[in-house]
């Protein structure tokens, strides 16, 4: 099936073709027709399966200029991501988005809400604005994204109260990775005769991609990246960074280490951007360092490795990133650097992928690996006449052992250096991950107790 098989606006289809969306994912294939029909939907699918497009595309196709859509998400990071995705899809529709979350200017957000068709908000800030009367919205479409995450964070009562402020004649969509009883009960109260969709496939990443992660301290990122480049020896790679400022820094750092790398980010002018992409496609650039936004729509074959210098904040971005390797039936490799502060994001990625914990190779590992590569290469070489002539000429000055030693030295012209060990051992990493999980479980229990207590007697509301 293709997106062109759906009855979507031609402007949307044009945009999808531009950004490389060809075939809908299972959740998109099942959900889009029902949303286009105007049905309420309860969809259970793991993050990373393309849920934003599953609700965003049909709503963008249906909505008129005087209509509004409201998306409620558990975190600021997800709100920003959803808002960016909707804005990207709606480029030719003149759609504006407003992102609403705590810790940012009320007045600026209120202004954006008034001038936008799509409002993407966290529960705490949205309820503050509604209860204080600062905004009065009547969305035709309301979407709950990551509903189970909002339950874990203690936002369920806030969600129920938000629905007192939205009209009854709305279309409501609920997306959740799991369906605990409180979410099922919520669905019964806020949706009308919904269509239930379940995507059971847990593995959503490409089977041809080997996925590894390495636990490090924050100050080890650059050393770890170089060490893994020395060990993995990628032929063509993309390094993903979270911020634009990191792109130039890492590209320069790799170049300084003798790696043919260039950066790609949103601050570059179009001419320079096209020049870098063309160079990467034509094998004149070996490594592209980019942000998610800059790499969108980038279609390059033969990428052997994807490196996540920073782990993405959500599994969907992870799936998109690593999907740039392992194409056309070829094997690829995805390598992620993870600090303890990123364990929560890692745990979400582990639910949808087969990512494996590894230790960063030591200097000895690198040297032994190089020796094996040289021996393997020598075993495949058939000496020609010119090679024999060179050795015979060299024998006038050196014995055979000296010649062989000097030839071997050529292979080791660039020798790995740095600390003997970088990052955590597997045992250390597992201990840290277990400790992090225990702390998260404790916080969830506290959220649940506080939510129940606050609901009974004057809620001290959490802000999104």
Look at residue 132 and tell me whether its pLDDT is greater than 70.
yes
Are residues 194 and 234 both part of a single domain?
Answer: no
Whether residue 307 is contained in a domain is answered as yes
Which 3 state secondary structure label does DSSP give 356? strand
pLDDT of the residue at 328: 65
Domain count, the chain: 2
Are residues 134 and 8 both part of a single domain?
Answer: yes
Whether residue 459 is contained in a domain is answered as no
Are residues 231 and 332 both part of a single domain?
Answer: yes
* CA–CA separation, 334 and 211 (whole Å): 5
Are residues 174 and 257 both part of a single domain?
Answer: no
Are residues 156 and 295 both part of a single domain?
Answer: no
pLDDT of the residue at 356: 95
Over residues 156-169, mean pLDDT: 93
Whether residue 157 is contained in a domain is answered as yes
Q: Do residues 308 and 185 make contact, with C-beta atoms less than 8 angstroms apart?
A: no
| Residue 100: CATH number of its domain | 3.40.50.300
pLDDT of the residue at 451: 44
Are residues 217 and 348 both part of a single domain?
Answer: yes
Are residues 91 and 130 both part of a single domain?
Answer: yes
Q: Do residues 31 and 50 make contact, with C-beta atoms less than 8 angstroms apart?
A: no
Q: Give percent of the chain with pLDDT exceeding 90.
A: 47
Question: What is the phi/psi pair of residue 222, to 5°?
Answer: -65, -45
- Rounded to a whole number of angstroms, the CA Rg of the chain reads 26
Q: Do residues 117 and 63 make contact, with C-beta atoms less than 8 angstroms apart?
A: yes
State the average pLDDT for the chain.
85
CA 269, distance to chain mean position in Å, is 25
Q: Do residues 175 and 49 make contact, with C-beta atoms less than 8 angstroms apart?
A: no
Are residues 165 and 223 both part of a single domain?
Answer: no
Instruction: Give the full edge-to-edge strand order of the sheet including 195-198.
Output: 97-100, 118-121, 69-72, 141-144, 171-176, 41-44, 195-198
pLDDT of the residue at 450: 53
pLDDT of the residue at 14: 92
pLDDT of the residue at 213: 97
* CA–CA separation, 204 and 115 (whole Å): 37
Whether residue 447 is contained in a domain is answered as no
Are residues 254 and 146 both part of a single domain?
Answer: no
Whether residue 148 is contained in a domain is answered as yes
Q: Give percent of the chain with pLDDT exceeding 70.
A: 87
Q: Is the pTM of this model over 0.85?
A: no
Question: What is the phi/psi pair of residue 360, to 5°?
Answer: -70, 130
Domain final residue pick, 174, 198, 222: 198
Whether residue 413 is contained in a domain is answered as no
Burial 18-47 (b: 16+ CB within 10 A, else e): eeebeebbbbbbbbbebbbeebbbbbbbbb
Which one has a higher pLDDT value, 164 or 453? 164
* CA–CA separation, 247 and 158 (whole Å): 39
Which one has a higher pLDDT value, 337 or 379? 337
Of the ranges 28-32, 99-103, 179-183, 319-323, the best mean pLDDT one: 28-32
Look at residue 171 and tell me whether its pLDDT is greater than 90.
yes
Look at residue 269 and tell me whether its pLDDT is greater than 60.
yes
Are residues 152 and 232 both part of a single domain?
Answer: no
pLDDT digit string (tens) for 343-358?
Answer: 988 988 888 888 999 9
CA 211, distance to chain mean position in Å, is 14
pLDDT digit string (tens) for 213-266?
Answer: 999 999 999 999 999 998 898 999 999 998 888 999 999 999 999 999 999 987
pLDDT of the residue at 32: 96
Question: Two tokens at 401?
Answer: 């052992």
Look at residue 287 and tell me whether its pLDDT is greater than 70.
yes
Whether residue 368 is contained in a domain is answered as no
* β-pair partners for 290: 240, 264
Whether residue 416 is contained in a domain is answered as no
Are residues 187 and 306 both part of a single domain?
Answer: no
Q: Do residues 418 and 227 make contact, with C-beta atoms less than 8 angstroms apart?
A: yes
Over residues 357-373, mean pLDDT: 79
- pLDDT-derived band at 195 (thresholds 50, 70, 90) equals very high
Over residues 273-288, mean pLDDT: 90
Which one has a higher pLDDT value, 360 or 204? 360
Are residues 120 and 156 both part of a single domain?
Answer: yes
* CA–CA separation, 282 and 277 (whole Å): 9
Look at residue 135 and tell me whether its pLDDT is greater than 60.
yes
Which one has a higher pLDDT value, 214 or 420? 214
Q: Note down the domain range covering 156.
A: 3-198
Look at residue 61 and tell me whether its pLDDT is greater than 60.
yes
pLDDT of the residue at 445: 58
Lowest mean pLDDT among 193-197, 217-221, 317-321: 317-321
Of the ranges 16-20, 124-128, 272-276, 315-319, the best mean pLDDT one: 124-128
Domain final residue pick, 165, 198, 231: 198
């Amino acid at each position: 099936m293709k997106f062109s098989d759906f009855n979507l606006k031609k402007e949307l289809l044009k945009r999808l073709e531009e950004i490389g969306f060809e075939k809908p994912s299972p959740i998109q294939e099942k959900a889009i027709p029902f949303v286009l029909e105007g049905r309420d939907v309860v969809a259970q699918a793991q993050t990373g399966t393309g849920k934003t497009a599953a609700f965003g595309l049909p709503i963008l196709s249906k909505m008129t200029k005087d209509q509004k859509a409201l998306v409620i998400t558990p975190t600021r990071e997800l709100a920003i991501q959803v808002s960016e995705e909707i804005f990207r899809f709606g480029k030719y529709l003149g759609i504006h988005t407003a992102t609403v979350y705590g810790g940012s200017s009320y007045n600026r957000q209120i202004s954006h809400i008034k001038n936008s068709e799509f409002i993407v908000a966290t529960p705490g800030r949205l309820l503050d604005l509604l209860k204080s009367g600062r905004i009065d919205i009547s969305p035709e479409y309301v979407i709950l994204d990551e509903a189970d995450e909002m339950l874990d964070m203690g936002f369920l009562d806030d969600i129920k109260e938000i629905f007192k402020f939205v009209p009854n004649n709305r279309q409501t969509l609920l997306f959740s990775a799991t369906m605990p009883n409180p979410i099922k009960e919520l669905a019964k109260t806020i949706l009308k005769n919904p269509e239930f969709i379940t995507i059971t496939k847990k593995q959503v990443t490409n089977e041809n991609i080997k996925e590894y992660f390495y636990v490090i301290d924050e100050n080890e990122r650059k050393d770890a990246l170089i060490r893994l480049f020395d060990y993995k020896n990628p032929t063509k790679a993309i390094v993903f960074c979270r911020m634009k400022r990191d792109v130039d820094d890492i590209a320069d750092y790799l170049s300084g280490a003798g790696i043919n790398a260039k950066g790609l980010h949103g601050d570059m002018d179009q001419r320079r951007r096209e020049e870098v992409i063309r160079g990467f496609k034509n094998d004149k650039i070996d490594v592209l360092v980019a942000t998610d936004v800059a790499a969108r729509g980038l279609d390059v074959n033969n990428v052997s490795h994807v490196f996540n210098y920073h782990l993405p904040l959500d599994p969907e971005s992870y799936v998109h990133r690593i999907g740039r390797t392992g194409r056309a039936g070829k094997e690829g490799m995805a390598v992620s650097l993870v600090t303890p502060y990123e364990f929560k994001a890692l745990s979400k990625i582990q639910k949808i992928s087969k990512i494996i914990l590894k230790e960063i190779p030591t200097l000895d590992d690198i040297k032994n690996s190089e020796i094996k590569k040289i021996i393997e290469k020598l075993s495949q070489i058939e000496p020609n006449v010119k090679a024999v002539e060179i050795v015979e000429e060299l024998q006038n000055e050196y014995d055979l052992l000296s010649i062989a030693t000097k030839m071997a030295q050529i292979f080791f012209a660039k020798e790995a250096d740095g600390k003997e060990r970088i990052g955590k051992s597997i045992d250390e990493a597992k201990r840290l991950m277990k400790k992090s999980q225990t702390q998260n479980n404790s916080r969830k229990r506290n959220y649940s107790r506080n939510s129940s207590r606050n609901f009974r007697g004057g809620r001290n509301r959490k802000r999104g």
